[in-house]
Amino acid sequence: MTMIRLSGSHLYAARVLVGLSREEVAERAGLCRHSIRKWETSSHAIPGAMYGHLCRVVDILENEGARFSCAGVYLERHGPAQCLNGQGHTSQ
């Protein structure tokens, strides 16, 4: 797993890029969808006590092809790459 500072907008961008709903991510991670929503809408870093839960979510998103970087989030799949920065804007 990549170790960079993640924001809620990074988690949201990754989830949208891989095409999963909050419910799907929550179910696969064994978490409540309200936790996913809270993280995605937060401008703060994820609390340290939630580190294990966050790792499960990031692993799911990375297994679906999301890649996190300092520049934002991009989708690594066959075909042209799509990139969303931390603000949810697409760039090539």
What does the domain layout of the chain look like in residue ranges? 8-91
**Could you read off the pLDDT of 44-89 as tens digits, one per residue?**
766 655 888 988 999 999 999 999 988 889 998 765 555 666 555 5
Q: Which CATH architecture is the domain 8-91 placed in?
A: Orthogonal Bundle (1.10)
Distance from first CA to last CA of the chain, Å, rounded? 24
Q: In whole angstroms, give the CA distance from residue 28 to residue 75.
A: 19
Round to whole Å and give the CA distance between 40 and 69. Answer: 17
- Residues 82, 72 contacting (CB under 8 angstroms): no
Amino acid 80: pLDDT: 58
Torsion of CA 32, 67, 77, 23, to 10 degrees: 10
8-53 pLDDT, tens digit per residue, is: 888 999 999 999 999 999 999 999 999 999 989 887 766 655 888 9
pLDDT exceeding 70 applies to what percent of the chain? 73
pTM metric for this prediction: 0.74
